[in-house]
């Protein structure tokens, strides 16, 4: 079993949901796109991160990494799970399930793609072109 979340940069609402899911499903593999140093979670085991973790700039400026996030998930694991539980407000739903039962707690639609005027992370001029693709991907999941 795997428990998955987008990024772990604080212990706010969605991150606390990830933590509670991980605690409710002990022994699960835990995965996140990135995990900030010094942000600790009361979970059983290590948290595996994606290649985005290697770029300090992208972990700080997550809006620039938005178009890369679905691809980063595709490269994280070759593990085959029976069940994958995602805690998602952006791209955790793209974690490779490879036929596993996939349960997703969706906190909100991809606000960065749909309403960039109320969420500054999506208002970057660099994202204006990819926004239509991000909407299509969000609609599909």
CA–CA separation, 103 vs 105, rounded Å?
7
**Band of pLDDT at residue 87, cut at 50, 70 and 90:** very high
Count of beta carbons in the 10 Å neighbourhood of residue 31: 23
Q: Which residues contact 126 (CB under 8 A, 6 or more apart)?
A: 64
Would you say 90 and 113 are in contact if contact means Cβ atoms under 8 Å apart?
Answer: no
**Better-scored residue on pLDDT, 70 or 125:** 70
pLDDT mean across residues, the chain: 84
pLDDT at residue number 83: 95
Q: Provide the phi-psi class of 24: left if phi over 0, else alpha when psi is between -120 and 50, else beta.
A: alpha
Per-residue pLDDT band for 127 (boundaries 50, 70, 90) equals: low
Quick check: helix, strand or coil at residue 18? Answer: helix
Predicted TM-score of the model (pTM): 0.81
Q: Give the H/E segment covering residue 83.
A: strand 83-88
Mean pLDDT along residues 106-116: 79
Cα separation, 105 vs 102, in Å, equals 10
pLDDT digits (tens, 9 = 90+) for 23-46: 999 999 999 998 988 899 999 899
What are the pLDDT digits (tens) for 44-84? 899 999 888 888 887 777 767 777 787 888 777 667 899 99
State percent of the chain over pLDDT 70. 90
pLDDT, greater one: 8 or 135? 8
């Amino acid at each position: 079993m795997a428990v998955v979340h987008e990024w772990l940069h604080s212990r706010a609402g969605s991150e606390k949901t990830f933590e509670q899911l991980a605690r409710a499903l002990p022994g699960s593999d835990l995965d996140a796109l990135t995990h900030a140093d010094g942000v600790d979670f009361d979970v059983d085991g290590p948290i595996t991160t994606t290649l985005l973790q290697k770029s300090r700039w992208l972990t700080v400026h997550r809006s620039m990494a938005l178009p890369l996030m679905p691809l980063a998930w595709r490269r994280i694991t070759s593990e085959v799970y029976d069940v994958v539980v995602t805690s998602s407000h952006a791209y955790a739903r793209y974690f490779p399930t490879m036929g596993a039962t996939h349960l997703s707690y969706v906190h909100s639609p991809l606000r960065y793609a749909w309403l960039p005027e109320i969420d500054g992370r999506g208002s970057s001029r660099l994202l204006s072109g990819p926004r239509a693709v991000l909407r299509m991907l969000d609609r599909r999941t």
